[in-house]
Amino acid sequence: MRIGTRRRLGVLGWVLIASTLLGSVYGTLLNIAAYGTLSFGIPIGAIHGFLLGSSIGLLEIFWTRSRPGRAVEQAPFLVTLLVKVLIYGSLITFVNVVEPGSRLLHVPLGTESLQLVSVIFSFVATGAFLFMLQISQIMGGRTLRDWVLGRYHRPRREDRFFLFVDIMGSTALAERIGPVGVHHFLNRVFLLASDPVDDYRGEIYQYVGDEMVITWTGKAGRVGARPLRCFAAIEAALEATATDFVQYLGVAPRVRGALHYGPVVVGEVGGRKRAIVFHGDVMNTTARLEQVARELDRRLVVSADAWHQLAETDQSTLEDLGTQVLRGRASPVQIYGVGAMVNPGRLSNR
């Protein structure tokens, strides 16, 4: 099973568990409020929660990857939210009006007032969930979680991997197809790269022109050399769609990368517009390494600091590029060129 499919099935499993538990709690509270007893509130609520969780979860996790689903996802925020509320709302209304849980357990159906309350509650819960989901796609799921929990309200020191991924040839392409065309080109590349980033548990920190910055904590990145496999998976995703790019733009996208590891300070900054940012020499050094990769024409350049932190690196071919004096650094940096990985998608990602 592919890593991405396994990850999405895992997410669906958590959605089913959460929706079943939420349905059980809601069914219990509704029966106590209406009849003063638990009655069949727990099993009926669990059945309804499971049905809604499975149907909405399948649509949200798998249907959004289809062509119609991607069109909905890339529509304006309010349009996306409205379409999803209408589709999911129809499912909610059907379950709460038909009451399959009550029918399965041979329990008398609820009154119209109870059905109306259930529909309203389900709409509110689903609407709130969808709103937070859409916001998380703008901010990034982990960034939203950290912001809500206040994890970086006070600056913290962390050891992190940073992977800079540069899209090659975008400047020359801009001269031929113009800025709007380049925007569509870059957006498509970034969309294709997002799945490998999720599959290998990375965080997209920011997009800078034709470059994306991905980060892992030291603990997360060391597992199975995730940064290296993420880069290889991005290359594979772009290669798989190269024919489409050539057909419409006359060029297939290629990427170049640089990986470094070290300490950074993470914290919230700003007032009316707030963000979680990283400060430290690691960021500047990684940017300089990306320039070295361009100058030496290497697909991926890795510092010795990063390489020595990684596990399972025997799947890659390594080229010693010696020590390089980077602009802005007093001491030289030992770097390596990394060749293509052997079967990157088959390695464990636990």
Digit-coded pLDDT (tens) for 262-279: 999 988 887 777 778 889
pLDDT of residue 348 exceeding 70: no
Calculate mean pLDDT across residues 113-140. Answer: 75
**Residue 138 binned pLDDT confidence (cut-offs 50, 70, 90):** low
Q: Tokens 């970086």 belong to which residue?
A: 152
Q: Single out the residue of 186, 308, 232 nearest to residue 3, CA to CA.
A: 232
pLDDT of residue 350: 44
Give just the sign of the alpha carbon dihedral 284, 285, 286, 288.
positive
pTM of the model: 0.77
Q: Does domain 153-346 have CATH number 3.30.70.1450?
A: no
Copy the structure tokens of residue 45: 């609520």
Is residue 122 within 8 Å of residue 52, measured between CB atoms? yes
Q: What percent of the chain has pLDDT over 90?
A: 29
Least confident among 16-30, 163-177, 179-193, 225-239? 163-177
pLDDT of residue 347 exceeding 50: no
CATH 3.30.70.1230 intervals, the chain: 153-346
Q: List pLDDT tens digits, range 276-285.
A: 888 989 999 9
Which residues are registered as beta bridge partners of 15? none
* pLDDT higher at 289 or 173: 289
DSSP string over 197-244: HHHTT-EEEEEETTEEEEEEEHHHHHGGGHHHHHHHHHHHHHHHTHHH
